[in-house]
Amino acid sequence: MTRARFVARALAPAMGLVAVPAAAHTGTGLAGGFVSGFAHPLSGPDHLLAMVSVGLWGAFLGRPLVYALPVVFPMMMVAGAVVGMAGIAIPSTEIGIKLSVMVLGGCIALALRAPVWIAASIVAVFAICHGYAHGRELPSAADPMGYSVGFVLATGLLHVAGIALGSLEARRGGTPAIRLAGGAIAAIGGVFLLGAVMR
């Protein structure tokens, strides 16, 4: 199946997840629930770039990682979120998040074709850091379920967006463009990391 069809296939069932969230809300509304959760990965450039990079790198690596990475990431994100929800302090997760942007961007820029287990491991470690950040906020959301649906869905859709961008590889000049984008992401990640370390 082509990547474009994969994107369409992933989006169609995902639409079932958001069929009627507005109609489903009662009481005080979705603020603090689905909308907050959905906005969380989108509102932080570090989260956003890292998620897109997971999809983009997966698309670049091809089968099976184009499908495996968007599955590994949410699973390990849950592990990190559970640690965050339990209030267990993990130092330097913020640095881990910034590092993820730099490393994933660098992998794309360098066209790094890692073995499946290495690519999955890299993504898994970073997913724990990202999940931890979400998990710290989850229990206090007015609607934790809506919040979790929101940020998992937003994360998944960002992966799909990255895969869709990765489909540009097949076009003329696509690979250099993707590698350039990866380089830009890595550079931005470096700036983030420097800021986090200097703080």
Partner 1 sequence: MLVRFALTTFALVGATAALAHDFWLQPVRWRLDPQRRAGLTLQVGHGSYRQRSPISASRILAFYGVTPDGRRVDLRKQLHPGATADDATVSFGRPGTYVLALETDNRAESHLPAIRFNDYLKVEGLTPAIELRARNGRTDTDGAENYSRHAKAIVQVGPVDPRGQVQITRPLGLSLEIVPESSPLTRPGGGTLPVRIFYRGRLLPGALVKLTNLDHDAEPIEVHRTDARGRAIFAMPGRGAWLLNVIWTRPRPRTSLTDFETDFSSLSFGVSE
Partner 2 sequence: MRDPGLLVMLLATGAGLVLGPQRWKATLAGASASILAMLATLAFVVALPADIVWSVAWAVVAAMAIATWLPRLGAALPVALACSAGAVGGGLSATVPNQLLFVAILALSTVMTAGGARRDWALAPKVVAGWLLAIAALNATLTVLPVTPGYLPDHME
Binding site for partner 1 (CB under 8 A): 27-29, 31-33, 35-36, 39-40, 43-44, 46-47, 87, 136-137, 139-143
Per CB under 8 A, contacts with partner 2 among 74-113 are 74-75, 77-78, 81-82, 85-87
The residue among 21 and 174 lying less far from partner 1, judged by its C-beta, is 21
Beta strands in 48-119 (DSSP E): none
Q: What is the DSSP letter of 56?
A: H
The structure tokens 């897109």 sit at 52
Distance CA 149, CA 48 (A): 17
Distance CA 84, CA 145 (A): 16
Q: Which two tokens stand for residue 59?
A: 């698309």
Site track 47-76 with partner 2 (rule: CB under 8 A), x = hit: --------------------x--xx--xx-
26 part of the interface to partner 2, by CB under 8 A: yes
Alpha carbon of residue 93 to chain centroid: 15
31 part of the interface to partner 2, by CB under 8 A: no
Report yes or no: 93 and 183 within 8 Å, Cβ to Cβ: no
Q: What is the DSSP secondary-structure string of 145-169?
A: HHHHHHHHHHHHHHHHHHHHHHGGG
Applying CB under 8 A, among 111, 142, 161, 187 the residue interacting with partner 2 is: 142
CA dihedral over 140, 142, 146, 147, signed as positive or negative: negative
Query: Candidates 99-107, 118-126, 145-153, 190-198 — which segment interacts with partner 2 by CB under 8 A?
Result: 145-153
From the list partner 2, partner 1, none, partner contacted by residue 106 (C-beta under 5 to 8 A by kind): none
The residue among 98 and 136 lying less far from partner 2, judged by its C-beta, is 136
Applying CB under 8 A, the residues found at the interface with partner 2 are 1, 5-6, 8-17, 19-21, 23-28, 32-34, 67, 70-71, 74-75, 77-78, 81-82, 85-87, 135, 138-149, 152-153, 156, 159
